[in-house]
Structure 1
Amino acid sequence: MADWGPVVIAVVLFVLLSPGLLFQLPGKNRVVEFGKMQTSGVSILVHTIIFFGLITIFLIAIGVHINTG
């Protein structure tokens, strides 16, 4: 049996937290911008910290597992 939980959670969070795709925090003109598709170094850093925090919560604290087979 394979555990697909970490893979699914990581892919979903990566897509949702890609800077500029859905939202960008901090934006160039405002604190939060939606759908701009432009990023900055600070925005990448903020989204990386959010990604690390959420993946730690889902995989270590909650322990999400999706077993197949």
Structure 2
Amino acid sequence: MSDWGPVFISVVLFILLSPGLMFQIPGKSKVVEFGNFQTSGISILIHALIFFALIAIFLLAVGLHMYIGTS
């Protein structure tokens, strides 16, 4: 059986935390902007730190595992 938990959580967080897709921290004119499809270097850094923190929480602290077995 394969552990698909890290793969699934990484893909979902990568999509949700892509800067400018759903939200951007910091935005061009506000602290948080939603759905502007733009990005900057500092927002990429902030989103990468948030991604790393959430991955560490979900995979190391919580220990999320998803096993898919074939019969």
TM-score w.r.t. the length of structure 2 is 0.96
How many aligned positions are there?
69
Alpha-carbon distance in 2 for matches of 1:66, 1:54: 17
Alpha-carbon distance in 1 for matches of 2:64, 2:11: 14
Map of 1:58 onto structure 2: 58
Map of 2:33 onto structure 1: 33
Identical positions, percent: 68
RMSD: 0.3
Alpha-carbon distance in 2 for matches of 1:14, 1:56: 14
Task: Give unpaired runs (5+ residues) of structure 1.
Answer: none
- Show the 5 A alignment for 1:1-69: 1-69=1-69
Counterpart AA for 2:8: V
Which secondary structure state, in structure 1, belongs to the residue aligned with residue 6 of structure 2? Answer: helix
Moved over 4 A (4+): none
Task: Give unpaired runs (5+ residues) of structure 2.
Answer: none
TM-score w.r.t. the length of structure 1 is 0.99
